[in-house]
Amino acid sequence: MINLKPLKIAGVGYCIPETVITNDDLTKLYETSDEWIYSRTGIKERRVVSGNETAIDLGFKAATQALEKSKIKPEDVDCIISAASVPPQLYPTLSCTLQAKLGIPKGVPAFDLTAACTGLIYALQVARGFIGSGIYKNILIVASDNNSKITDWNDRGTSILFGDGAGAMVVTESTDGVDDILSINISADGSIGQLIYTDMPGQNCPLVKPADSVGDGKIRMNGKEVYKFAVTTVPKYVEECISKSGMTSDEIDYLIPHQANQRIIEAIQQRLKYSDEKVISNIKYYGNTSAASIPIALVEGVEQGKIKLGSTAILCGFGAGMTWGAAVVRLREGIC
Ligand code: UT7
């Protein structure tokens, strides 16, 4: 066993765009109904960027809030990781753009990590490795996605689900010896990768034989199989993560899951035998905001009095890849 330095979750922030698209609005695009969408997903509305607003603007606001809460100044951040699947530009990466925008010094490493909706937990595990080994001390994680930009708005099987949003977390080396990560695990299975995919739009070199098809850059999903995968894999995985933490599920205060489908959240809740008060769900208002959904649910849960800080939580996510992950964490007072 490697002895890692303890990690502190020092600050968390979020940002959601103003523009609301309701289920009724979607009936203008295709045949559907509020009843159909709500009963199958728990979603009533979602937020999307409009005009020139992008994941950079949302990520900037979420990161600024997380930095303020953490009391870490931009000049003291020594690594930036963006969990971005739908950034406005492939490069420069979202993290590089945010480095300049936030006033984080030149030279500080900045990179994006793509693990779709599990991105926040993947980034947390990577940050834990860096901090635990002493390579970096103060890491900014930003999860910001504009799913609306790659949604096929003619496809009623996918466009009902997704929304835009950003979340951010500042993690630092813990100076009081207390580790805020009680256990964490990340996983992937590329053999079922085609359950959710987005082909890069592209072209052929005009001097070569063309490929049979070029990507259209839109989300494609086998919803039924993703649903089955999620309800069979995630609840069991969450239980294993809790057991690794040395705690029992009863001892953990909250479940803060990735917000993909209310029925998937309920499957995890039932497995843990949690009352509704212990489960944080805001999917009704935001839909699936990818890697941003966990920090959005956390901070909003605190703002709405559903989460009391000075507590513990199990975070869990799953998404394209397929990827999945879970972490039992300590939520200190004052982090959001
Ligand atoms: O981060 C990971 C993100 N992904 C997920 O978590 C997705 C998990 N999967 C799901 O949430 C569900 O599969 C959906 C909510 C997306 C779809 O529910 P479903 O019960 O699996 O529906 P389905 O795709 O099997 O479609 C059933 C029927 C079809 O009609 P027919 O062929 O039976 O006549 C669809 O055409 O429902 C129809 N349908 C709709 N009807 C009204 C599909 N979408 C809609 C819609 N409104 N929006």
Distance 157 CA to ligand 1 centre (A): 5
Per-residue pLDDT reduced to its tens digit, 145-198: 999 999 999 999 999 999 999 999 999 999 999 999 999 999 999 999 999 999
What are the Cα distances from residue 269, in Å, to 204, 249, 276, 322? Answer: 48, 11, 8, 22
Does pLDDT of 1 surpass 80? no
Comma-separated ranges of CATH 3.40.47.10 domains in the chain: 7-173, 181-331
CATH homologous superfamily of 7-173: Thiolase/Chalcone synthase (3.40.47.10)
Per-residue pLDDT reduced to its tens digit, 83-100: 988 999 999 999 999 999
- Cα 269–271–274 angle (5° rounding)? 40
- Among 26, 226, 266, 288, the mutation site with the greatest number of ligand 1 atoms within 8 A of its Cβ is 226
Atom of ligand 1 nearest to the CA of 157: 44
Question: What φ, ψ does residue 113 adopt, rounded to 5°?
Answer: -125, 130
Atom of ligand 1 nearest to the CA of 37: 48
Cα separation, 111 vs 100, in Å, equals 13
Active-site residue list? 117, 258, 288
Q: What is the pTM of this model?
A: 0.96
> So what CATH class is 181-331?
alpha beta
Per-residue pLDDT reduced to its tens digit, 57-66: 999 999 999 9
Tokens in use for 216? 């259209």
Q: Is 226 in the pocket of ligand 1 (CB under 6 A)?
A: yes
Write the residue with the smallest CA distance to atom 41 of ligand 1.
Answer: 32
- Let me know: does 113 contact 123? Beta carbons within 8 Å: yes
Q: Report the chain's mean pLDDT, rounded to a whole number.
A: 96
